[in-house]
Amino acid sequence: MAFNSNIEDFDALDNEHIGTSENTPMRNDAFKLNNEEKIDIIKDDVRHIMETLGLDLTDDSLNGTPNRVAKMFVNEIFGGLDPDKKPSASTFDNKYKYGEMLVEKNITVYSTCEHHLLPIVGRAHIAYISNGTVVGLSKMNRIVDYFAKRPQVQERLTIQVVRELQEVLGTKDVACIIDAKHLCVNSRGIRDIESSTVTSEFGGKFKDMGTRREFLDYIKLDTKF
């Protein structure tokens, strides 16, 4: 009875999208198996799920689904769990002495809600103020993509992006805003297709309201080519 009660408690928390840690919860033996071994195990698990649902896996359309899903989990949508895939962020001396805010906006976010394993789709906006070091523009996109490719809550993703860039750049003056739709809200449960979730993390100078407002104003700029 206590076990069932705990399951109900966890289910209620999941519907509230509560995260438990700034770091992605990982077991100590998370990398004991190689990727091929993980794919083989997940393939069998997906097959069992589909068979339990009553699907006929001898059908040509369904026969390869367990393997496709397993490879997708390990190599693609949860590839950000693999520390070997963490992007190396090359930094450079700020020789041109650019001292203003740099903003990379409208970075595409594809992630997965860790409560229901449904997609999170949105945009990230990042800014930093150099203290003598700059980072390649595409590296910011890659950092977002790396941390997004794992089971996530949006709050944690926002924090992880900021913490990583703070470490790479050697400055606290980093900010990130993410605006995203969660299919666990849009396609199930309340099924509200219009709502989106906005999260933010402001470090260093971005805690100042004037600097924060400048960042928000840049995001509003309508960029057309």
Q: For each of the chain's 225 residues, which pLDDT tens digit applies?
A: 344 445 455 455 555 555 567 899 999 999 999 999 999 999 999 999 999 999 999 999 999 999 999 999 999 999 999 999 999 878 888 888 888 999 999 999 999 999 999 999 999 999 999 999 899 999 999 999 999 999 999 999 999 999 999 999 999 999 999 999 999 999 998 899 899 999 999 999 999 999 999 999 999 998 888
Active-site residue, from 104, 114, 164, 201: 114
166 annotated active-site: no
Active-site residue, from 115, 125, 160, 201: 115
Whole-number pLDDT of residue 97: 82
88 phi, psi to nearest 5 deg: -80, 120
116 annotated active-site: yes
Whole-number pLDDT of residue 4: 47
Active-site residue, from 104, 125, 152, 154: 154
- Report the predicted TM-score, pTM, of the whole model to 2 decimal places: 0.89
For 46, residues 6+ apart whose C-beta sits below 8 A from its C-beta are 65, 66, 69, 70
Instruction: Please tell me whether residue 142 adopts helix, strand or coil conformation.
Output: helix
114 annotated active-site: yes
176 annotated active-site: no
Whole-number pLDDT of residue 162: 98
Whole-number pLDDT of residue 10: 46
